[in-house]
Amino acid sequence: MQKDDLHTIRFAAIICLVCSMGLAGVQGSLRGIQQKNKTIDGQINVLKALNPDFAPDGSPLSEDERLSYFLDGQVPKELIPDYFENYVVKEDVTLEDGKTDILYKLKKDDKVVAYAFPAQGKGLWSTVHSYVGLQSDMATIRGITFFDHGETPGLGGECSKPWFQKNFRGKKLWDDGEPVKLMIAKGDAEPETPYNVDGMSGATITGNGIEKFVNNTFREYNEAVFSEQRAM
Amino acid sequence: MPAIHKTVLDPLSDNNPITVQMLGICSALAVTAQLPTAFTMSIAVTAVLCASNTTISLLRNVIPPKIRMIVEMVVIASLVIIVDQILKAFAFEISKQLSVFVGLIITNCIVMGRAEAFAMSNPPKAAFLDGLGNGLGYSAVLIIVGTIRELLGFGTIAGLKVLPESYPGNGLMVIAPGAFVVIGLLIWLQRTITKKYEEA
């Protein structure tokens, strides 16, 4: 073997070793913070759907506080663990076809104030993830959040913006004893009904995708959980 | 020293990596729909460029010529992963928006190009300045494009409403073809000013 071949191999080995050790070090030391960011991010999304009307100490929140906390997502980070320790209950539920998924309940004084379930489906480019929150009537949308998507910024990407998510609040997925189809308009909804949501102009396909998966997932949860609870 | 000046200032305009060297166009199209993402991307690329140029220059006399480019790639990739990890830890929101594009700095031709063309044959200090200059040149274009696209696309600058509420927004500016148009116009402007043309 020639002398510079040996040098090449030795150099390659050293540089690989140094780089991998460096990366392992960086990743190891930052993992804790990253994990925490991720957990908090997930929890904020659940809270946006559950949309609590009280602070973790039990005192009521003003309307403005609620909007800034659970619509804009500006809930103070130190409050988040309190909500999850004392008020939010996570349950496994079995949907049709035997697949299991989760249902969050916001409980205060042993009464369920709100439900939230995860829903996801295709938008235009990507899978859009969401949590849908319902009032205790299991019919009216209390809060909703869309996140973790790859839709076009400014068009379909607007689905993760507060203005769009606000349009869903108070809309109905269940009325008069049966599921109703929530519809997302192309732009402003006309006429204004409890099932008609103002959409994002220029993002018809993202809107259609969201409409489909929100309706379908609600129906699955309705069959598996809500219809039973209503009967009780 | 005039040489230092030239190393840092040349890439800002006369030898701009995007509008003159035509490198790094891909990310310039992808992350410039809004100013904040363009800005973070600029910082990330500049940091990687400075660090990679310095590292490669320090190693330039011991890197075996046969595996020169592979070594450059390993160094660049490691630096990019470090930047990505730091963003995920300390700028989580922005790193979510930049998603895959931080990782793709590895394939940004400017980084590799400067390592090959400059850092391999110049001392560390000059290489660092070259990285800084090219990073700033890239940043300048990204920030100009980001400002124009956000202003025309949404009527905002860095999220603040600038144009009247009635401005409907321009969908073309929001998607990648809009960036093509803006960058094309910038290149036209640049070359008209610097009088540097491609030989046909």
Residues from chain A that touch B89, judged by Cβ atoms under 8 A, are 30, 33-34, 37
User: Tell me, what's the pLDDT at B119?
Assistant: 94
Chain B residues within an 8 Å CB radius of A22: 78, 82
Q: How far apart are CA B139 and CA B83, in angstroms?
A: 16
- pLDDT for A171 equals 92
Q: State whether A37 and B33 contact (CB < 8 Å).
A: no
d(CA A76, CA A86): 16
Q: How far apart are CA A41 and CA A71, in angstroms?
A: 14
pTM summary value: 0.78
Cβ count within 10 A of residue A156 = 26
Rounded mean pLDDT, A94-111: 88
Asked if omega into B124 is within 30° of 0 (cis), the reply is no
* Residues B60, B119 contacting (CB under 8 angstroms): yes
Q: In this complex, which of A19, A41, A155 lies closest to B174 when CB atoms are compared?
A: A155
For B84, name the nearest residue in chain A, comparing CA atoms only.
A27
Q: What residues have CB less than 8 Å from B179, skipping those under 6 apart?
A: B28, B29, B30, B32, B33, B145, B149
B154 touches chain A (CB under 8 A): yes
Own/partner long-range contacts of A13-16 (Cβ < 8 Å, ≥24 apart): A15/B71, A15/B74, A15/B75, A16/B74
Contacts of A202 in chain B (CB under 8 A): 171
Alpha-carbon Rg for chain A, nearest whole angstrom, is: 23
Q: Does the structure's ipTM exceed the value 0.95?
A: no
Residue of A185, A149, A145, A151 whose CA lies nearest to A165 = A145
For residue B14, the model assigns a pLDDT of: 83
Flag residues of chain B having pLDDT under 50: 1
Predicted pLDDT at A128? 94
> Could you give the percent of chain A with pLDDT greater than 90?
49
Measured between beta carbons, the chain A residues lying within 8 angstroms of B31 are none
Tell me the CA distances in angstroms from A209 to B8, B45, B62, B66, one per residue in order.
49, 35, 56, 52
What 3-state class would DSSP assign to B1? Answer: coil
First to last CA, chain B: 36
In this complex, do A153 and B92 lie within 8 Å of one another by their Cβ atoms?
Answer: no
* Confidence at residue B199, expressed as pLDDT on a 0 to 100 scale: 61
The 10 Å CB-count burial string (b at 16+, else e) for A70-81 is: bbebebeeeebe
pLDDT of residue A1: 57
Who has greater pLDDT, A190 or B127?
B127
Backbone angles phi, psi at B118, to 5 degrees: -120, -55
Query: Which of A11, A22, A152 lies closest to B78 in CB terms?
Result: A22
φ and ψ at A174, to 5 degrees?
-145, 130
> Residue A175's pLDDT band (boundaries 50, 70, 90)?
confident
pLDDT at B51: 96
How confident is residue A212, by pLDDT bands cut at 50, 70 and 90? very high
Return the residue matching tokens 């369920």: A112
Paired with A184 in beta bridges are A197
Task: State the amino acid at position B30 in one-letter form.
Answer: A
* Alpha carbon distance B151, B164 (integer Å): 11
Contacts of B174 in chain A (CB under 8 A): 152-155
Q: Which amino acid is at B86?
A: I
Specify whether the CB–CB gap between A132 and A218 falls below 8 A.
yes
* 8 A C-beta contact, residue A131 and residue A118: yes
Mean pLDDT of A202-218: 93
State the best of B29, B72, B104, B174 to mutate against chain A, taking most chain A CBs within 10 Å.
B174
